[in-house]
Amino acid sequence: MKQRLINYLLKTVIKVVVPNDVIRDVRGVLYLGSEKMTEQELKNLQSEIKALEGFRVWSIINESVKRLAFERGWRDSTTMEQLNTAKTMYTTLDLQSSIINKIKNKLP
């Protein structure tokens, strides 16, 4: 319930993209945008995620960006704009992670 309230406020007040804008679970059925995801598509995406998480580029994209955002945003920032930019980067990484986890953890 708490996360639904947070997503609602983020979407309506601040106008950010939340995971449900991209992929949502309606009564056990996943939707990509407004399109219902087929069981075969779900299996294909889960295979792609498994492969992607094994690639070195995945850790570079996630861990390097996360580390640099922390260093530049929290440790070295001198203005509120720099801190907000780092927070935006973290939010983007979290959005990607939420989408991947929703697909990965969905049983076919």
User: H helices of 32-108, where?
Assistant: 39-54, 56-59, 65-70, 80-104
Q: How many domains does the chain fold into?
A: 1
* pTM for this prediction: 0.80
pLDDT band at 10 (very low <50, low <70, confident <90, very high): low
Residue 70, SS3 per DSSP: helix
Per-residue pLDDT of 37-82, as tens digits, reads 999 999 999 999 999 999 999 999 888 999 998 898 888 889 888 8
Per-residue pLDDT at 14 exceeds 70: yes
Q: Which residue would you say has higher pLDDT here, 1 or 57?
A: 57
In which domain, by residue range, is 12 found?
2-104
7 and 18 Cβ atoms separated by less than 8 Å: yes
Cα(102)–Cα(105) distance, integer angstroms: 6
Q: What ranges make up the beta strands (E) of 33-91?
A: 35-36
> What is the percent of the chain with per-residue pLDDT over 90, rounded to a whole number?
40
